[in-house]
Amino acid sequence: MDEEEAGKLFDEIDTDGDGMITFPEWNQHPESFKGKCSPLGDFLQMDMNWDREIGREEFIRHRAYRHYS
């Protein structure tokens, strides 16, 4: 997944369009169940600054770069 694809996915998951993914939004999206132990574990892993919301930058960094590091 590249940066552009991650951005599109972010918009898809951010259903109320406020620029942050909250856990209820994440939990309702099929992506949250892909090959992970739990949607909550995946969510917390993406939340790098521990504010319990995923900003666009956090999401893109996690999705677009983790496979190259």
Of 37, 36, 40, nearest in space to 26 by CA? 40
Q: How far is the CB of 64 from Ca ion (least distance, A)?
A: 16
- Asked whether 26 and 13 are in contact (CB, 8 A), the reply is yes
Token pair belonging to 43: 């969510």
Closer residue to Ca ion (CB): 4 or 18: 18
Tell me the residue type at 38. S
Q: Which residues bind Ca ion (CB under 5 A)?
A: 14, 16, 18, 20, 47, 49, 51
Tell me the residue type at 16. D
Closer residue to Ca ion (CB): 15 or 38: 15
Q: How far is the CB of 39 from Ca ion (least distance, A)?
A: 15
Closer residue to Ca ion (CB): 20 or 64: 20
